[in-house]
Structure 1
Amino acid sequence: MSLVITDLHAQLEDGTEILKGVSLEIPAGEVHAIMGPNGSGKSTLSKVVAGHEGYEVTSGSVTLDGEDLLEMGIDERSRAGVFLAFQYPAEVPGVSNANFIRAALQARLPEGQELDAVGYYKSLYEKMDLLEMDRKFTGRSVNEGFSGGEKKRNEILQMMMLDPKYCLLDETDSGLDIDALKIVAKGVNSMRSPERGFLLITHYQRLLNYIAPDHVHVMAEGRIVRSGGPELALELEENGYDFLKEAVTA
């Protein structure tokens, strides 16, 4: 079981190429981190895998446990087990958190089957307690008026409730203070299992202090230019991305 990205090329609607041959395999049970400077294509990669309509795949493939992901619509990819936590979570005025998550879970059930309300709220409250979220958030509109840390915790809550096979976390640490970062990391770590894979996108080593990756990759100018173990992130933290000048032109 793996999420496999092979020689993936993708461009914006105006024809600007962003991904220039990305290949990456994330087996179930592993955590992979992608680091790199701004504009290297990290967030684009996560959005293309999730099915964002603002990008066009020009060549390459993405398979999920052997199934062609690129042939699926956004909703089909979600049902197949893909979850994307956004760098900038959107606000959804007028839709409560509880109803939003409940509707998402209901949409995954076979036609005619109803979600068990008692079991749903029991699970929701357990996960909110883990993330140290006040119960009042169930009645608040999705992300409306939330702080940055609250939005990120809300994303992790959605992920925990939807129970995906592959979790793409796009700079989940962005804007978090150390306490919020520890809580978010606790939620992510609670989901680690042999049946689930993770792709963490981050600029900084500090997230990886709390969510230990199995592999670290560096992206630059639309492709992965270096891969290694957790020690690679420490090297980047110490030395920065100066080596990319040689790697990109190599």
Structure 2
Amino acid sequence: MMAHCSTSSSLNPSNLFSHPTFRTKTLSIPRLCSLSSIRIPQSHCATNRSSLRRLPVVAGAVAVDSQASYTDEKEGKKLLLEVKDLTAVITESQQKILNGVNLTVYEGEVHAIMGKNGSGKSTFSKVLVGHPDYEVTGGTAIFKGQDLLEMDPEERSLSGIFMSFQSPVAIPGVSNADFLNMAYNARQRKLGLPELGPIEFFSHVYSKLDQVNMKMDFLNRNVNEGFSGGERKRNEILQLAVLGADLAILDEIDSGLDVDALQDVARAVNGLLTPNNSVLMITHYQRLLDFIKPAYIHIMENGRIVKTGDISLASFLEKEGYKGITAA
């Protein structure tokens, strides 16, 4: 039986992302979805929701009818995410980092973004989830018919966006079981569905452990505390399995994994795919694409997507490198 969480009364989702626990050198991106339910006292926070800044959109940006966009379909699938001419700068330095990103994702699709270091891949994912280190300066991003750029990070999470960490942070004093239970119930409240108590939630989460090859004692351990790199990545996908998401953004989920751990993670992700949800993967290596097959591969360079193709594009990269893409 899982212990009832003793911290739930003192956690505040709107201020979690600025808490010192999460502002480390190894991690500066909010855990969306799974952190949306945790509350931290206001006095512990360095910033607040006003930190999530968006600069005025430049003149001439395309106006989007959000409701019309979500009704767009391709082969019977609804348009899930539509990004047009998205530009952004680093908040502190005002350095331009995204230079007009365009991307369209329909339900049931798997997309992969590849590119050299510094090309803007991870920045793009962070902008999508509302990281305060970046300011949007132009363009639009529509998710399920809603203006994504006008939502706070926790709103984006509860609307159905999940993002995995490159380097998942440890959270001392919070067990996996309590962490997942609180996050799951926050999502249930958003959807108007019944919440689960600790005992009922245990039954729900137990079936998910096999999907990521994790043992039951992981639930009693503090979140990522003392976990190996492979265990942390498995834990990220466990969170995705428990919480569900319309769009899962996997930012280098393959980094630091041996072949066995990569297969476990990939098998779990494949098991979560349905005709109604989508995955956006960011990776440097073809080996992830050997296990999770994307329908589309996008090459990013200088803050823009410069080429889009099918799985054969990854094979071309292996042979020719990014110079071959640029030359083409």
> If the TM-score is normalised by the length of the shorter chain, which range does it land in?
over 0.9
Q: Which amino acid aligns with 1:3?
A: L
Q: C-alpha offsets along residues 34-86 of structure 1, whole Å, 9 cap, x if unaligned?
A: 00110000001111101111110000111111110111101100110000011
Q: Which amino acid aligns with 2:287?
A: R
Is residue 203 from structure 1 mapped to residue 317 from structure 2 by the alignment?
Answer: no
Instruction: Judge conservation of contact 1:220–1:244 (CA < 8 Å) in 2.
Output: no
The Cα of 1:243 is off from its aligned counterpart by: 2.6
Question: In structure 1, the residue corresponding to 2:188 is in which secondary structure?
Answer: coil
Q: Which amino acid aligns with 1:238?
A: K
Is residue 23 from structure 1 mapped to residue 102 from structure 2 by the alignment?
Answer: yes
Is residue 146 from structure 1 mapped to residue 227 from structure 2 by the alignment?
Answer: yes
Residue 175 of structure 1, aligned match among 229, 250, 256: 256
Could you tell me the percent identity over the aligned residues?
50
Instruction: Judge conservation of contact 2:251–2:283 (CA < 8 Å) in 1.
Output: yes
2:159 match = 80
Alpha-carbon distance in structure 2 between the residues aligned to 1:102 and 1:124 = 9
Alpha-carbon distance in structure 2 between the residues aligned to 1:151 and 1:181 = 12
Q: Which amino acid aligns with 1:15?
A: Q
The Cα of 1:107 is off from its aligned counterpart by: 1.6
1:96 match = 175
Is residue 231 from structure 1 mapped to residue 316 from structure 2 by the alignment?
Answer: no
Alpha-carbon distance in structure 2 between the residues aligned to 1:109 and 1:189 = 24
Alpha-carbon distance in structure 1 between the residues aligned to 2:104 and 2:312 = 19
Question: In structure 2, the residue corresponding to 1:89 is in which secondary structure?
Answer: coil
Larger relative strand fraction:
1
Q: Which amino acid aligns with 2:178?
A: N
Alpha-carbon distance in structure 1 between the residues aligned to 2:108 and 2:182 = 28
The Cα of 1:108 is off from its aligned counterpart by: 2.3
Question: In structure 2, the residue corresponding to 1:152 is in which secondary structure?
Answer: helix
2:86 match = 8
Q: Could you say which structure has the larger radius of gyration?
A: 2
Instruction: Judge conservation of contact 2:163–2:248 (CA < 8 Å) in 1.
Output: yes
The Cα of 1:119 is off from its aligned counterpart by: 3.6
Q: Unaligned 5+ residue runs, structure 1?
A: none
Question: In structure 2, the residue corresponding to 1:39 is in which secondary structure?
Answer: coil
Alpha-carbon distance in structure 1 between the residues aligned to 2:275 and 2:149 = 25
Q: Which stretch of the first structure deviates more once superposed, 196-205 or 130-139?
A: 130-139
Residue 119 of structure 2, aligned match among 30, 34, 40: 40
Question: In structure 1, the residue corresponding to 2:323 is in which secondary structure?
Answer: coil
Q: Which amino acid aligns with 1:176?
A: L
Aligned length: 247
Scaled by the length of structure 2, the TM-score of the pair is 0.73
Scaled by the length of structure 1, the TM-score of the pair is 0.95
Alpha-carbon distance in structure 2 between the residues aligned to 1:109 and 1:195 = 18
Q: Unaligned 5+ residue runs, structure 2?
A: 1-77
Q: Which amino acid aligns with 2:138?
A: S
Q: C-alpha offsets along residues 72-130 of structure 1, whole Å, 9 cap, x if unaligned?
A: 10110011000001111111111001111111112223389542434421221111122
